[in-house]
A and B are shown apart, each in its own frame.
Chain A
Amino acid sequence: MAEQRFQKRTVFLIAYILFALLPIYWMVNMSFKTNEEILASFSLLPQHFTWANYARIFTDASWYSGYINSLIYVAINMVVTLVVALPAAYAFSRYSFLGDKHLFFWLLTNRMTPPAVFLLPFFQLYTTLGLMDTHIAVAMAHLVFSVPLAVWILEGFMSGIPREIDETAYIDGYSFPRFFLTIFLPLIKAGVGVAAFFCFMFSWVELLLARTLTSVNAKPIVATMTRTVSASGMDWATLAAAGTLTIVPGAIVIWFVRHYIAKGFAMGRV
């Protein structure tokens, strides 16, 4: 019985992984072809294998600087988000205070506006502040959706931790910062891992705001990619190569946070 269940799960998992990987395989496949080959024929493997698309990205500063710019503002965004969201999530999960429920829901409402609406106001705001075309501007604009998300995710995980753990620690003479960093954080590792990954992900792929707030110095890779659509038609091959490369940093991030996500709760630690 248990054997059979296990197999059903594995079959389901493998089926899903196939479904998940096939479009990515097709993108990687395209990235090693020339445009002519992509449009001319159907082939499971590149017939005229070429590195040219990757070479173009790695040798052209306007391409690879896009990756660097994106990484800079995503990193700023991730750090600021986690630093402000952790204490706030703790407050929401442990205490009630004036307006807590309203504030909590209000945070999420900031994710509910179509970003297209905010382009013009954001543009005006950041021009007034003299922050246009800086990494800080994009990182700050992205806080609007990354902070609420992080607070919600972290609050969910923190609420799963029994309050007795806090009380025991205080009785044992732990100060709040020491308790928070040495006892509490390790308990919600999974939540921190997921929150960090989602901050990275949403900031990394966001296009509209990042494109509006930058022109040259902080131009992100997602905006650079829109260049592949031109009058002479679509540059499918370069886009596929650039798309393949955009997966890499995120895959590295998830590789680093995987232990946090997979380990989760360990009662024995306290």
Chain B
Amino acid sequence: MKPVNQKAWWLVLPVFLCVAFSAVLPLMTVVNYSVQDIISPDRRVFVGTEWFAAVMRDSELHEALLRQITFSLAVLAVEIPLGIGLALSMPATGWKSSAVLVVVALSLLIPWNVVGTIWQIYGRADIGLLGAALQQLGIDYSYTGNARDAWLTVLVMDVWHWTPLVALLGYAGLRSIPDAYYQAARIDGASKFAVFRYIQLPKMRGVLMIAVLLRFMDSFMIYTEPFVLTGGGPGNATTFLSQFLTQKAVGQFDLGPAAAFSLIYFLIILLMCFILYTWMQRVGTADNAEAGHG
């Protein structure tokens, strides 16, 4: 167990102040908006939980939420295994490792609005590489006309954009496993899979937890890329939660309902992250206990 040391607060205090400064006041403002009807800057009426009730009953919201959950789960299901696989395949030393590291990281560095724009051209059947290639293969592909194609394009774009995050974290996690562990495994005659399951995966648990949580919350808040690529269409096929929220907050100037909506939004992400976090911690502890017995 970690020793109790209240003085550790001094080490944490700067972080606390930095984050609280920019986080607490805005959050309070949003809470404040969510219980008022703002008719004009000087005229506001306290409405209690009315906005919350209205938002919860909104059937369009339910659809957007369902779409969002499906999308985020798909993102996790593809990106986490792919990222781990990539981290395991990347060369560990030499100029190749440097080159691969840089190449893999490239897609992360493109501003999100540019990502959407690039894929907009890239996916077009007449002038884009992906669209033209699919057309050549005889697939009738159009991300603007077909809802399924649009959804898949947004997913593939997200995989392209964000898998490197999982891969880089996993790679750095792998690199920090001491050689002694591998030597011990070799002496025990452990199989490749056993090395992965009992050494690499547990040692990567910390960074993978960050990767899962980050990918979950960021994909849950995805806005710029699908907005630029498809504008939420065709129909509502790629209108995810944050776009719905922005339509409310910016498009209709409904500050009250938008604030209530964003608080509910925040609570959903919080709850799901908490479940993921607790679950992954429990899995980790069970692993450790098992290793302790064995």
Contact = CB atoms under 8 A, between A and B. Distances in A.
Interface of A: 5, 9-10, 12-13, 16-17, 19-27, 30, 38-42, 44, 80, 83-85, 87-88, 90-92, 94-98, 100, 103, 105, 107-118, 120-122, 124-125, 140-141, 143-144, 147-149, 151-153, 155-157, 159-160, 188, 190-191, 193-194, 197-198, 201, 204-205, 207, 221-222, 225-226, 234, 236, 239-240, 242-243, 246-247, 249-251, 254-255, 258, 261-265, 267
A236 B117 contact: yes
Interface string B1-14: 11111111101101
A262 B99 CA distance: 11
Nearest to A236: B121
B109 A251 contact: yes
A191 B207 CA distance: 9
A41 B132 CA distance: 11
Interface string B214-247: 1001100101100000000000000001100110
Binding site secondary structure of chain A: helix
B104 A17 contact: yes
Given A147-B15, A258-B101, A264-B172, A112 B269 contact: yes
4 nearest A-B pairs in the assembled complex, by CB-CB distance: A264-B175, A156-B206, A250-B109, A121-B26
Contact of A20 (B21, B97, B160, B173): B160
Contacts of A159: 206
A190 B129 contact: no
B85 interface: yes
Interface string B141-164: 000000000000000000010001
Given A20-B104, A114-B223, 19 more contacts: A10-B89, A16-B104, A17-B100, A23-B107, A24-B106, A38-B127, A40-B127, A91-B9, A97-B6, A109-B273, A144-B22, A157-B207, A191-B176, A222-B111, A225-B113, A239-B114, A243-B114, A247-B110, A254-B102
A98 B7 CA distance: 10
Contacts of A88: 11-12, 14-15
Contact of B100 (A13, A117, A251): A13
A118 B103 contact: no
A234 B120 CA distance: 12
Contacts of A114: 221, 223, 241-242, 245, 262, 265-266
Given A194-B172, A250-B108, A112 B217 contact: yes
Contacts of A25: 129
B270 interface: yes
Contact of B217 (A98, A111, A246, A258): A111
A95 B118 contact: no
Q: Is the interface of B mostly helix, strand, loop or mixed?
A: helix
B105 A251 contact: yes
Contact of B108 (A95, A116, A201, A258): A201
Interface stretch (B48-56, B70-78, B177-185): B177-185
B8 A23 contact: no
B137 interface: no
B210 A156 contact: yes
B19 A144 contact: yes
Contact of A120 (B29, B100, B160, B273): B29
A98 B218 CA distance: 30
